[in-house]
Amino acid sequence: MMRNFWSESRGRGSLGLVCARSWLLVALTFSGAMSSVAQEPALEAAPVALALEARGAALAQAVELERLRADLSALAAPEMEGRRSGEGMARARAFLVERFRALGLKPAGAGESYAQPIPMASGEGFEGENLLALLEGRDDALRAEVIVLSAHYDHLGRQGEAIFRGADDNASGVAVMLELARLFSREGARPRRSILFAAFDAEERGLLGSKYFVHAPTIPLEKIALDLNLDMLGRRMLDLVEGAVFAQGWEHSVELVELVRAAGAQEKLRVHFVATDVTGARSDFAPFLWSGKPALFLSSSEHPDYHRPSDVPERIQWEELHARARLAARVLSALVEADAAPSFRDAAPHPVELETLRDLVDALLPHAEKLGLGRAEEFGLRALRARAALLLEKGGYDAATRESLMKVVRRAMSALR
Ligand SMILES: [Zn+2]
């Protein structure tokens, strides 16, 4: 996952404290403004529902934790040197290409190869390469439609003796992608739509790999139905929020909400729905959204080892990674099997954000002390939760209400970092 503008250097020092104070101020200021109940937004044309199906359940059952563990550990091994450049990066690429080849996937990069060179950053001593492999669908009519399953394989390399191994960021997402590639390409499991497995490079350099792919797609963009992007699936938010997965991108394709929630329920995972504008566009799904393509981003969110040499396999929560991989299998299966591909609309307020707010505050408040929250911050969080609960009950979650609420949420987020 890429850093965003407010996580750049903001620790829990004095700056964090200042933010917490002003956040509380904003919380109190806006709590009055939000109590006026506005009208329901106009209904849009209802998108076709996406449902879980039996194939997805069987695929989820077949996800093997030991394979996830082996692939994650291989990609995050010291020999891969943090997957940024040089020999370590060459080893990571060879590892991925060999896996694509062994699964019999069709090269979908430049020429007859799996690799798509990224010329965007040439001249900076950097040679990027997306690795792309296609699994052709079984359905004559739907085969032309492609669901992209993406995960970036690059990380931060090394600084002196320190290797940034990127076990969670994003060996975890790549390991899940490889396991799903294995399962979906098995005899009898072939999907209706085609799947493009995309290991994007240079995500940490500003989403360069995915930006370039969308700019110069090796498969015509109009054939791409959705990007399902996996980035950081093996830890817990702040090391605290158990059994959760975060979803973004759904705000442009509302039918994804029920689908992902249902998949989460099957795997005993709480899905937190956060619209992309709340955090900023921080992973490879964003360039797809920017070009009007549906996209869904799944992540277990940030933790104290994020972008540090301490992001190592030993700190992965394996059972939760396994559950998130099974969830991804169910969601991917529903997407490739459905009669209709997801719709795309402009982002609009959705009450599921209020549920997320309520549930996240409930998950974090018991840890107020560990989080270093003072009484004021704790009170601010409670006020935020009460506001969300009231809006859920009374309705009226419109654009203006959302805007004022999200100001508070952003302040709260900086206080928690
Ligand atoms: Zn990252």
Q: Ligand 1: distance of its center to the CA of 306 in Å?
A: 7
Backbone φ and ψ for 130, nearest 5 degrees, come out as: -75, 145
- The CA distances from residue 11 to 15, 139, 348, 407, in Å, are 7, 51, 32, 20
CA distance 385 to 199: 38
Could you tell me the distance, in angstroms and rounded to a whole number, from the CA of residue 158 to the centre of ligand 1?
Answer: 14
Q: What integer pLDDT is reported at residue 164 of this predicted model? A: 98
Strands 146-152 and 194-200: parallel
Q: Give the CA distances from residue 398 to residues 36, 40, 298, 302, 357, in Å, rounded to whole numbers and listed in that order.
A: 11, 7, 25, 29, 16
At 105 the pLDDT is 98
CA torsion through residues 123, 97, 300, 216, sign: positive
Going along the chain from its start, the domains and CATH numbers come out as 66-236+298-327 (3.40.630.10)
Ligand 1 center–CA 3 separation, angstroms: 7
Q: Give Cβ neighbours of residue 81 (< 8 Å, ≥ 6 apart).
A: 87, 88, 89, 91, 157, 158, 163
Low-confidence ranges of the chain (pLDDT < 70): 4-46, 121-125, 417
Q: Tell me the CA–centroid distance for residue 172 and ligand 1, in Å.
A: 12
CA–centroid distance, residue 168 to ligand 1 (Å): 9
The alpha carbon of 20 and the centre of ligand 1 are apart by a number of angstroms equal to 25
Q: Looking at residue 52, what is its pLDDT?
A: 87
Distance 296 CA to ligand 1 centre (A): 18
The confidence score (pLDDT) of residue 27 equals: 39
pLDDT of residue 324: 98
Q: How far apart are the first and last CA of the chain?
A: 16
Of 301, 146, 324, which is closest to residue 220 (Cα–Cα)?
Answer: 146
How far apart are the CA of 387 and the centre of ligand 1, in A?
33
Query: How many whole angstroms from 151 Cα to the centroid of ligand 1?
Result: 11
| Residue 369 φ/ψ region, left for φ over 0, alpha for ψ in the -120 to 50 degree band, beta for the rest | alpha
Report d(CA 342, CA 250) in Å as an integer: 10
pLDDT tens by residue, 40-49: 444 555 677 7
Distance from residue 261's CA to the centre of ligand 1 (Å): 25
CA atoms within 13 A on the CB side of 119: 3
Counting Cβ atoms within 10 Å, is residue 253 exposed (0-12), middle (13-18) or buried (19+)?
buried
CA distances from 163 to 43, 90, 178 (A): 51, 16, 24
Report the separation in Å between the CA atom of 169 and the middle of ligand 1, taken as the mean of its atom positions: 5
Residue type, 184: F
Spatial CA neighbour of 147 closest among 163, 162, 136, 158? 136
CA 242 to CA 246: how far, in whole Å? 12
| Distance from residue 377's CA to the centre of ligand 1 (Å) | 28
Please, what is the average pLDDT of the chain?
89
Task: Give the position of tokens 């963009």.
Answer: 221
At 20 the pLDDT is 35
Task: Tell me the C-alpha distance between 334 and 192, whole Å.
Answer: 10
Dist. CA 205 → ligand 1 center (Å): 9
Contact 65, 318 (CB under 8 A): yes
Q: Which two tokens stand for residue 407?
A: 């100001």
> Would you state the pLDDT for residue 53?
86
Cα torsion 188, 323, 274, 286: sign: negative
pLDDT of residue 413: 81
The rounded Å distance from CA 29 to ligand 1 centre is 35
Distance 107 CA to ligand 1 centre (A): 26
157 Cα–ligand 1 center, Å: 11
